[in-house]
Chain A
Amino acid sequence: MAKGFTVEEKKMLNKTFLYSLGTFMSSNQMIMQARTFACMMQPGLEKWYKDDREAYLEAFKRHANEFFNTHQIMVGLLGGVGLALEKERYETGGIDGSTISSIKASLMGPTAGIGDSIFFNAYRVIIAGVAISLSVGGNILGPLFFVLGYGGGLMVIKYYAVMAGYKYGTSLITTAFKSGAVQMITEAATSMGAIMIGALVATNIKVNIKLIPNIFGATVEIQGLLDAIMPGILSLALWWVVYKSLQKGYTPIRMIFTILLACIVLAFFGVL
């Protein structure tokens, strides 16, 4: 992917990648990641418009002041695409600034969706799952694996995303959308993430009922009964109830305090 570039282009793309690491450093609610995106364009704009200060400032301000928001890895891909478009504008003059803005605006939404489903919902869950299982018993390898696997892995992917974006320009994303590959990839990543969530629910959520009531002289071990029906049924039920509550508008913070309060009350009465 990184092959086929001149030394100057490679230097420019490396700088763009480095700037892309600050995606959320200058984020604000009005223009979100626009300032970082403008910084990502800067190495290219400086190269092409070194003798035309006006054109340089026009392009830089355009990127810096227009709303831009996507997934942080996809910023790399769109940064590469943005550079390819700016290069075309400089060399051929075939496209104008507003076209570049429209292309950016049309791509940031779909790419954010792809990034979320692949990196947040599948990749992160898998890496976290493996890291959690490694961490059992206080093993330091768990957090190290997560930092290297997730943080390091994303850095590598982002680097190649910048290269791919510049190399293929808009054709990469347009082809992916036209061929229906985006929807297929999203569906596949979603199913993978859901399976991992199921496994994490089974291994990480622990609901144990300690209450052993005495009914007409016979003790009834409730947890044993539930385990006989289906081991871990309460973990799965808790996942479903919390999910439905969040769907109905319960905020995560409110849910956390509800669970805490419920646990304290139930523990006080000897249920948990």
Chain B
Amino acid sequence: MNAAAGMLVVVGFCITTQSIWNSWTPVYVILGFVLSKYLGLNITAIALIALVVALLGFKRSKEIFDSKSKLATAGTTNEGDDFYG
């Protein structure tokens, strides 16, 4: 029963994993695992690192989105140039 008690929590974690799954999820899970198991960081420190990673990811996504929007706008405005140029 002690052994089972140490393992049953995995079901809860896996249900949460299911709802957030994308191709990068295992990478982030392993990152969290390594930070805790190998570097011995506590949960609060890992939460802060996770926040930084999330903010960096958000910034990167925004830059990509902005550059795509700029390209799309440039493509629309230069549409007639090829014909005359």
Contact = CB atoms under 8 A, between A and B. Distances in A.
B36 to A, nearest CB: 4
Contact of B53 (A125, A195, A236): A195
A153 to B, nearest CB: 14
Given A117-B20, A180-B65, A183-B61, A196 B11 contact: no
B16 A133 contact: no
B5 to A, nearest CB: 8
Interface string A230-264: 01100110110011001100001001100110011
Interface string B42-85: 11101101110111011001100100000000000000000000
A191 interface: yes
Contacts of A195: 28-29, 31-32, 35, 46, 49-50, 53
Given A130-B47, A195-B28, A188 B55 contact: yes
Contact of A194 (B29, B43, B65): B29
B62 to A, nearest CB: 6
Contacts of A105: none
A190 B15 CA distance: 14
Nearest to A272: B3
Given A184-B61, A202-B36, A239-B14, A194 B7 contact: no
A207 interface: yes
A232 B11 contact: no
A203 B43 contact: yes
B65 A184 contact: yes
A185 interface: yes
Given A188-B61, A189-B54, A232 B20 contact: no
Determine the main DSSP class of B at the interface with A. helix
Given A130-B44, A232-B37, A205 B57 contact: no
Given A129-B43, A190-B22, A204 B61 contact: no
Interface residues of B, number: 49
Interface string B1-40: 1011011111101111111101011011111111111100
A44 B65 CA distance: 39
A266 interface: yes
Nearest to B49: A195
Nearest to B30: A198
Contacts of A33: none
Contact of A192 (B10, B30, B37, B54): B54
A200 B13 contact: yes
A120 B14 contact: no
A260 B11 contact: no
Contact of A238 (B7, B25, B49): B7
B47 A194 contact: no
19 contacts: A121-B19, A125-B16, A129-B47, A184-B58, A194-B29, A195-B29, A195-B50, A195-B53, A197-B20, A198-B31, A199-B43, A202-B32, A204-B9, A239-B10, A242-B11, A243-B17, A252-B11, A252-B15, A259-B11
Given A196-B47, A238-B7, A242-B11, 15 more contacts: A117-B20, A121-B19, A130-B44, A133-B44, A190-B22, A192-B54, A195-B32, A200-B32, A201-B32, A202-B33, A205-B10, A232-B37, A246-B14, A246-B15, A260-B8
